[in-house]
Amino acid sequence: MFGASMLVLQAAMLGLNQVLIKIVNAGLQPVFQAGLRSACAIVPILLFALITRKKLSVTDGTLKMGILCGTIFGIEFLFIFIALDLTSVARVSVLFYTMPVWFTVAAHYLLPDESMTPRRMLGLALAVTGVAIAMLDRQAGSAHLVGDLLALAGSLCWTVIALLVRGTSLKKATPEMQLLYQLTVSAIILLPASLLFGELIREMTMTLAWVFVFQITVVMGIGFLLWFWILSIYPASATTSFSFLAPVFGVFFGWLLLDEQLSYAIVVALLLVCCGIVLITRQKPT
């Protein structure tokens, strides 16, 4: 029960994260916010790794893959932060958190012991149907095709990162080192790139500044540390079944905090995607 509660809390923080990004986009240009957030989040993760004496090394054969992973992570952030500037949190949540679906398809061909089963095929069909419904729903005023496509592209980037972590030398690195690769390289890429996307500061207020600080300290810092702690106690296979909750919380917080109007199509799409994720990630009883 305690482990399940922590996983629900983690999913809630992931869902809240996208709402906070959209809120801060009003004060900071999206790409600049993404780069600044990565740079600031390095501090709590690095402190945690040093205090707990986690292995941090760039000479263990992971550097090249770490740089590649960080580059893709930066592109993923660029897509997602811009998507949240263009379209609703609900739509981004439904589309972005389909990552387990794309990972299952890719892993079937690229990773051993990850074959497609009838249950996973059914989950894939449900999730893809949900994505199609979400993409075809253009009635809501916040619907934006480019934003939707960027959310999907971000999900595919996340899939590539997961494949790199599972199938290359990066699997030798600790989770903290993997995250530090992603944060450091993405900050190096995104902060200069933000100069190409217009004014860095929009209408920044003290309230938005505190929301940004909350992102760094609670969502990024405590959230990731909570995730590392969960993984240190429970096997990863036992945590994946909770992944469907992240888009649910994203849609819920978008409605609660941003007053986003939810169409019937988005609700149906969310249900289909969540059912698909559950079928894909559910482990066989042992």
What single string gives the DSSP state of each residue in 151-167? HHHHHHHHHHHHHHHHH
Non-local (6+) Cβ contacts of 112 within 8 A are: none
* pLDDT, tens digit only, all 286 positions of the chain: 777 788 888 899 999 999 999 999 999 999 999 999 999 999 988 998 899 898 999 999 999 999 999 999 999 999 999 999 999 999 999 999 999 899 889 988 888 777 788 998 999 999 999 999 998 886 655 668 899 999 999 999 999 998 998 889 998 898 889 999 999 999 999 999 999 999 999 999 999 999 999 999 888 888 877 777 776 677 665 666 678 899 999 999 999 999 998 889 999 999 999 999 999 887 665 4
In this prediction, residue 286 carries a pLDDT of: 47
Cα 78–Cα 81–Cα 86 angle in degrees, nearest 5: 120
* Cut 0.85: pTM above it: yes
Cα dist from 105 to 65, 123, 157, 199, whole Å:
22, 11, 14, 39
Q: Give 28's strand partners.
A: 201
Cα 24–Cα 239–Cα 153 angle in degrees, nearest 5: 45
Residue 201 DSSP code:
B
CB atoms within 10 A of CB 1: 5
- Quick check: 150 and 114 in contact, CB under 8 A? no
Residue 236 CA to residue 97 CA, distance in Å, equals: 17
* DSSP reduced 3-state for 28: strand
In this prediction, residue 235 carries a pLDDT of: 64
Residue 42 CA to residue 45 CA, distance in Å, equals: 5
